[in-house]
Amino acid sequence: MLRQRVITAVVLLALLLPAMFAPITWPFALLTLAFVAAGGWEWGRLNGATGSVPWLLAGLTVALAAAGGLGLASGETCRACDAGAGLWVAGGLLALWLGPAGWSRLPQALRLALGPLVLALAWLALTRAHATGINFLLSVFCLVWVADIAAYAGGRLLGRHKLAPSISPGKTWEGAVSGWLAVLLLGGAWQWADRHFAAAVPGLATRLLADHGLVATVACLTLLAGASVVGDLFESLVKRAAGAKDSSGLLPGHGGVLDRIDALLPVFPLVAALALR
């Protein structure tokens, strides 16, 4: 299993890094579009779709993303990302309140339609972050990764109080607080590095601080740390409702695409709404 995980990670990095650092934007856009299309296929299977329907959902994800991409120059994408941020703040919390049983009771058509919409909105926000600059994009990726790693470590060391036992029994409030504190520390360190090295493109925390001030920056980073947890829990909820351990087996040793991007799905639309006006 470890060997599989390492090989898959190396292959993914070999694809992602050249696309991310390419002097043109389309390699990164196409590669990440393929990932969200795979996520749309997984979403259909997790929500009971059979036959050709998961493939149709993958195609719908691409179509929605492409349609949104056409609005990049006109500013329509800004409004789409704002809508995505609002959808996660309201709808994500509502889904967690409903729990796996409540999710299963929702009309299947509604559940199926939600996946391509969420994935396309996340892709639009992701491509906007990439177009802003590599330093900015990496600062968002690192926020999510640090929140996840610190939450895992804090939960293992200090975890006593379950965060959402009916959805993900391993997650604790102590882990979530550890992830939040790590995000604040990362933001401070990234802002210092941007100033010290005179970054041409500021990272997320630096941009938030310049636009909104210290108190609002802390509030925004807190919201984003919480959003990463919501994204993780939401995918766990869908898998639990489906009785699945992983979203698929597309990434050997890692599960599926949704297993790897779940925490990113709410974070990028919120980042676009907060910092990419």
For residue 96, the model assigns a pLDDT of: 86
Residue 80: which pLDDT band, with cuts at 50, 70 and 90?
confident
Alpha-carbon distance of 213 to 208, in angstroms, equals 7
Residue the block writes with tokens 């390419």: 22
Q: pLDDT tens across 247-263, in order?
A: 999 988 888 999 999 99
CA-atom Rg of the chain in angstroms: 18
Q: pLDDT tens across 184-242, in order?
A: 999 999 999 999 999 999 999 999 999 999 999 999 999 999 999 999 999 999 999 99
Alpha-carbon distance of 116 to 46, in angstroms, equals 13
Of the chain, the percentage scoring pLDDT greater than 70 comes to 96
Alpha-carbon distance of 200 to 223, in angstroms, equals 26
Residue 158 pLDDT exceeds 70 = yes
Question: What are the start-end ranges of the H helices in 72-172?
Answer: 76-87, 93-105, 108-132, 134-158
For residue 72, the model assigns a pLDDT of: 57
For residue 7, the model assigns a pLDDT of: 86
Residue 76: which pLDDT band, with cuts at 50, 70 and 90?
low
DSSP category for residue 203 = -
Q: pLDDT tens across 94-104, in order?
A: 888 889 999 99
Residue 6: which pLDDT band, with cuts at 50, 70 and 90?
confident
DSSP category for residue 168 = E
For residue 92, the model assigns a pLDDT of: 83
Identify which of 250, 236, 245, 241 has the alpha carbon closest to the alpha carbon of residue 41.
250
Mean pLDDT of 158-174: 91
Residue the block writes with tokens 């938030």: 208
Residue 119 pLDDT exceeds 60 = yes
- Beta-carbon contacts of 217 under 8 Å, excluding residues fewer than 6 positions away, are 187, 205, 208, 209
Is residue 233 within 8 Å of 162, Cβ to Cβ? no
Scored b (16 or more CB within 10 A) or e, 148-174 reads: bebbbebbeeebeeebbeebbeebbbb
Sign (positive/negative) of CA torsion 183, 186, 192, 195? negative
Instruction: Give 114 or 9, the one with higher predicted confidence.
Output: 114
For residue 142, the model assigns a pLDDT of: 96
Q: pLDDT tens across 11-55, in order?
A: 888 999 999 999 889 999 999 999 999 999 999 999 999 999 999
Is residue 155 within 8 Å of 172, Cβ to Cβ? yes
Neighbours of 71 (CB within 10 A): 14
User: What are the angstrom distances between the C-alpha of 90 and each of 10, 86, 180, 193, 226?
Assistant: 37, 6, 20, 34, 13
Residue 71: which pLDDT band, with cuts at 50, 70 and 90?
low
Alpha-carbon distance of 227 to 88, in angstroms, equals 8
- Helix 214-242 to helix 26-46 angle (10° resolution) is 40
Residue 1: which pLDDT band, with cuts at 50, 70 and 90?
low
